[in-house]
Amino acid sequence: MDLHTLTIHEAHEHLKNRDFSARELTQALLKRIEEVEPKVKAYITLTPEKALNEAEQADKMIASGETTPLTGIPLAIKDVLSTEGITTTCGSKILSNFVPVYDATVVHHLKKAGAITLGKVNMDEFAMGSSTENSAFGPSRNPWDLSTIPGGSSGGSAAAVAADECIASLGTDTGGSIRQPASCCGVVGLKPTYGRVSRFGLIAFGSSLDQVGPLTKDVRDAALLMNVLAGYDPRDSTSVNSEVPDYTAFLKSDLKGITIGVAKEYFIEGIDPEVEKAVKEALQVLQGLGAKIVDISLPHTEYALPVYYLIAPAEASSNLARYDGVKYGFRAGKDENLIAMYKKTRSEGFGAEVKRRIMLGTYALSAGYYDAYYGKASQVRTLIRRDFEKAFKKCDVIVTPTAPTPAFKIGEKADDPLQMYLSDIFTIPVNLAGIAGISIPGGLTRNRLPIGLQVISGPFEEGKVLQTAFAYEQNTEWHVKKPKL
Amino acid sequence: MKITRDQVEHIALLARLEFSEKEIEAFTRQMDNILTYFDKLKEVDTTSVEPTSHAIQVKNVFREDEAKKSIALDLSLKNAPEKEGNCFRVPKIIE
């Protein structure tokens, strides 16, 4: 048995039956990492010793019968989530030496459940990007084709899962950063409703958009991780205090009583014909499982991209003001005055895309332009949210492509920010509206690149997303296909 | 042009960033492209539409004003690039 290929629920059964120990499972993953990591480059920091110590603890928990579904499961954590005592870089030179003194709430929850951390995975700097090419530590590779991008910003999280370099991983999603890489790498990625999962210890990019979520090998694993991640946290004032259901209870293999909305605005010019075909075939499968398909309209979809690229950089420009070379992180030079030190530190510490977004955001918020840019964008955001509210009166979930194209070549869009931004055209509206969305494997192109299928629900309806995704997955084979490495 | 070179230099100062001549040129061009693309929003009638700053409506969140354990002094200084005693050390501010 190749232990590294197991899902969370499969590994859990074996651990419970004592077929192997958490230590053996962790060693198998570390060996797999050693073999394929030089090709995939998913990790920024590996913590093998810590992982083996945690495995020993997990084996004790198992021996005493105190297991949770995550006990002894080796995971990878996106390097934007604070981990006590483990360097947390955010993919940036400016935090290259930053060692958090506390754990993010989600990391704390995972540890309490007995999960094991293998290391911290690569990402676009400060989660800004769709390819991991903006990482200060170099890009990760798509395990399906090493010359293509793994998506981003959680590209390391998605590549690590697809390459079996972890059992599952955590990512974050501000405009598609979990779902788009999941789509590129042929894995499952769930962005929960805004407020469902604590953001405490998540290094902020766009505070009104950021959410933490799981990247997994199948839908059941996403539900299992959501059971641990979701919940109210008094340390995050935007976390919502509503009951957390058992997400595995939604995993049924039919869709009787579910109405699926299809929006014409998501089948636009520029969408790859293979992607369009895959999504239309998926809709037939879903219909065959008992779902009712209805046409809906989300008329403000075309404005989501400009709205996002005003709001997210505006929030980022203010969030990233804290990197000034004083309290933590990198500091440049010995300077004669404070302003010069700030400028040197920030100019040397941040990469080009981060600087571009800080500039855009600063401009959008600056005197004389606020109303025309940030103000206008916030109003159109309301219209986008209302589109979804109206649509969900007619349907339970909406099915769309996750991204307009499969993974593109490394370097292909590096010089054209606007082209790169278009990768997130189908995922961004979900963040703006604060609702939930999942990407699941929904096909392979002729060139054997994964195609992602997105299922979207209203706020706190992750159960419906998981039900639809699970039913589709149980009746198709895409999720069991593996890249050849 | 949506944005001039002078404006880009002014924004850079506000954002505490500095750029080479070549970078300023590239930024001016790229920001101009992006801002032109944003003009699309002018098509939308937003008369009397309330802005959304948070998608999930949360009101002010209050808690009891109780002292709780916080991060120890040595830990809060642990990541400082330069420190002196119990302080963050920065270049001279007042002449």
The tokens describing A360, both together, are: 């855009």
d(CA A122, CA A483): 19
Share of chain A above pLDDT 90, in %: 94
Average pLDDT of chain A to the nearest whole number:
96
Residue A415 in 3-state DSSP?
Answer: coil
CA torsion through residues A99, A100, A101, A107, sign: negative
- pLDDT at position B42 is 94
Query: Which is nearest to A181 in space by CA: A155, A142, A147?
Result: A155
- The pLDDT of A313-328, averaged and rounded, is 97
Chain B interface, best mutation among A96, A315, A347, by max B CB count within 10 A: A347
The tokens describing A320, both together, are: 């990233």
- Of the pLDDT bands very low, low, confident and very high (cuts 50, 70, 90), residue A1 is confident
**Of B66 and A416, the one with more pLDDT:** B66
Chains A, B: CB contacts within 8 A come to 160
A257: left (phi over 0), alpha (psi -120 to 50) or beta: left
Catalytic residue among A78, A191, A217, A464: A78
Q: Is the peptide bond before A239 cis (omega within 30 degrees of 0)?
A: no
Query: What's the CA angle centered on A31, arms A26 and A32, to 5 degrees?
Result: 95
- The pLDDT of A246-264, averaged and rounded, is 96
CA torsion through residues A191, A197, A202, A206, sign: positive
Of A303, A317, A375, the CB nearest to B15: A317
Q: What is the DSSP letter of B82?
A: S
Of A98, A346, A379, the CB nearest to B51: A379
- The pLDDT of A201-224, averaged and rounded, is 98
Catalytic residue among A154, A177, A183, A317: A177
- Contact with chain A for residue B87, Cβ under 8 A: no
Q: Please determine, for residue B59, whether its predicted confidence score (pLDDT) is greater than 90.
A: no
H/E stretch holding A222 reads: helix A219-229
The tokens describing B22, both together, are: 């070549």
Q: Is the peptide bond before A153 cis (omega within 30 degrees of 0)?
A: yes
The tokens describing A235, both together, are: 């340390």
d(CA A74, CA A167): 6
Cβ atoms within 10 Å, residue B25: 13
The question of whether A78 is a catalytic residue gets the answer yes
Q: Do B88 and A300 touch (CB under 8 A)?
A: no
The question of whether A177 is a catalytic residue gets the answer yes
- Tell me whether residue A393 is exposed, middle or buried, using C-beta atoms within 10 angstroms of its C-beta: 0 to 12, 13 to 18, 19 or more: exposed
Contact at 8 Å (CB) between A435 and A386?
no
d(CA B27, CA A38): 35
Nearest CA in chain A to B42: A376
Residues of chain A in contact with residue B58, where contact means CB-CB under 8 angstroms, are 195, 237-238, 240
Place of tokens 């040197």: A344
Residues of chain A in contact with residue B12, where contact means CB-CB under 8 angstroms, are 359
Q: Please determine, for residue B94, whether its predicted confidence score (pLDDT) is greater than 90.
A: no
Q: Please determine, for residue A304, whether its predicted confidence score (pLDDT) is greater than 80.
A: yes
The question of whether A242 is a catalytic residue gets the answer no
Cβ atoms within 10 Å, residue A228: 20
Place of tokens 């990790």: A43
Residues of chain B in contact with residue A331, where contact means CB-CB under 8 angstroms, are 81-82
The tokens describing A321, both together, are: 């003001």
Full 3-state SS string of A52-79: HHHHHHHHHHHHCCCCCCCCCCEEEEEC
- The pLDDT of A269-290, averaged and rounded, is 96
The tokens describing A339, both together, are: 């302003």
Q: Do B55 and A433 touch (CB under 8 A)?
A: yes
What is the phi/psi pair of residue B84, to 5°? -145, 120
Contact at 8 Å (CB) between A372 and B3?
no
Q: Please determine, for residue A327, whether its predicted confidence score (pLDDT) is greater than 90.
A: yes
**Of B53 and A433, the one with more pLDDT:** A433
Residue A294 in 3-state DSSP?
Answer: strand
Residues of chain A in contact with residue B55, where contact means CB-CB under 8 angstroms, are 194, 208, 381, 385, 432-435, 459
d(CA A363, CA A389): 31
Whole-complex ipTM: 0.95
DSSP lists the bridge partners of residue A82 as none
Residues of chain A in contact with residue B70, where contact means CB-CB under 8 angstroms, are none
- Contact with chain A for residue B73, Cβ under 8 A: no
d(CA A101, CA A87): 10
A385: left (phi over 0), alpha (psi -120 to 50) or beta: alpha
Least confident of A197-211, A319-333, B58-72: B58-72
Q: Please determine, for residue A397, whether its predicted confidence score (pLDDT) is greater than 80.
A: yes
| One-letter amino acid for residue A340 of the chain | A
Share of chain A above pLDDT 70, in %: 100
Of B30, B46, B88, the CB nearest to A327: B88
Taking only the tens place, the pLDDT of each residue in A66-92 is 999 999 999 999 999 999 999 999 999
- Contact with chain A for residue B6, Cβ under 8 A: no
Beta strands in A184-246 (DSSP E): 188-191, 211-216
- Contact with chain A for residue B94, Cβ under 8 A: no
Query: Which is nearest to A119 in space by CA: A205, A56, A199, A37?
Result: A37
Nearest CA in chain A to B19: A347
Residues of chain A in contact with residue B16, where contact means CB-CB under 8 angstroms, are 321, 324, 339, 342-343, 346
d(CA A455, CA A190): 9
Contact at 8 Å (CB) between A324 and A335?
no
Q: Do B46 and A317 touch (CB under 8 A)?
A: no
d(CA A399, CA A91): 32
Strands A74-78 and A397-401: unpaired
From chain B residues 31-60, the ones with a CB under 8 A of any chain A CB are 31, 33-35, 37-38, 40-44, 46, 49-56, 58
Of B34, B79, B82, the CB nearest to A309: B34
Residues of chain A in contact with residue B15, where contact means CB-CB under 8 angstroms, are 317, 346, 358-359, 362
Interhelix angle for A273-288 vs A462-474, to 10°?
90
Catalytic residue among A82, A92, A153, A169: A153
Cβ atoms within 10 Å, residue B56: 19
